[in-house]
Structure 1
């Protein structure tokens, strides 16, 4: 009981220090508090700290200090969390959500190493951090990190694959071109892996909408312009060097340059045509999918109508059967009534005959 009171007192002290803006003192006190008590209760103490400081003004700064100074060690923390039950792990990840969204630079450096973990729970946790980061202000454009996530699309564990798909979709909302290009390369490299191809299709269908196609085209155009500028600069440098070395053969380089320029233009034209065809195919694919969806909806509607009609017919049959039953019942009742009336007449006649004999 006294130990529990000590913990409560420490938390209150930490709360006061943070509220007063005494960050260094708060960090020291937190470090002391985290080392109190048994090791198997460390996660509980850490959860108490995060819940406490995040509600206070200056709390984010304190947490940043704790992580930067390795008082809270994210990789080892996630490794430890993997050994705990899933509810605790997810609860803690949710506590990190706002930090991931606003303090993403604290977590991004660890992502690739975490994704290489042998523990699938750690990989799933790292992917969830990516989803949180992508949901904030950070636009994830580092190809190495995207590749690290894409690698998990063919993980051994289904729940890791599912989380990787979610992560790729989250990144793709702001960087559709990057995701599209990387996944295309993966599809080519592992063309025989049907499961991976299906997972890639799942991601691309989500991020490459008709609206996103224009965005991808614009990015491609920008990329082409940049490449064109670089080529022009290289060409200019090469020309300058050539002019310096061979001044007497000025006409010949110009001819070569013209031929090279012509070839480059042809290549660019072909590339643009291919990209246009690719985009057209994507549009047609989306249109086909939309038509298929409409056909499915129509088919469902027709089935619903047929079912409704069948139900109506059954109801009518039921009603007819009821009417028929009532008619039969009525006939039986009328027959019984007639029999009773005839029987009554017969009895009355008999009584009358008896009365006459008595007289």
Structure 2
């Protein structure tokens, strides 16, 4: 437990129906401000029992007290559940400050009350972008990661999962690349399910990296459309091409998109360790046969897109670790298993 009493907002920032504030310190810190309907001070309330009452006992104040509930969750921890409006939250924190309670971020409070590893795991769970990611993190919270870190015989296997663990809270970056008018923006829109990128028959319309965050088989992916790769004298388009090449260098995977209705030779992309090749415009009557090693798709009709996404999931995470397998989630945890 922290040496000083602290209070932290556990619910997300912004307006909400309910706000939860956790106070770590003696329950008497809330006695001056909270009047329970049962007449008992907070310090006399049973553990894990809801106490309804009013926050704000100074009768000289013109502002009315806030009706809320208080729960003692441990001998030195109290949760306050009240209205989620900013003014109501600020008033509670002001009253707690008057009682000597310091307001801190929930991550700092969690670190002080639980220790470094539990705090890291709690932060990872809060940042999990999908239910599937949260499931893996919950498995680590159950003790799986702590046991793995303490067992050197598991460290070699854990090192193979460092990248996977990082992407449980940070989306995989997947770049759609190819020549102008191959249908990159249309494919992004077809996968995202809405018009995220501008589509035009004019080559070179896309000048900057445009992306959408999606879930592929339950894994978070940041899908990014880039400028068509070609030589150009237009300075604005050239800047877009340079940005596209830089984005490619940072990508976790690349979808190389080709216009299946065009007769020109397919220009190679910079080599990448994870590349899917998609042959677009299957809906066109003049489309050429899909070459070996390519996946046929139509960004216009959606044909072949589910198979493309299934292949992408397999490319990124070919063998997700089963429950009970430790996965490092942070750079600090990764350093603990280095040889």
State the TM-score, normalizing by the size of structure 2.
0.27
Q: Which has the larger radius of gyration?
A: 1
* Higher share of residues assigned strand: 2
Q: Which of the pair has the greater relative contact order for Cα pairs under 8 Å at 6+ separation?
A: 2
* Higher share of residues assigned helix: 1
State the TM-score, normalizing by the size of structure 1.
0.26
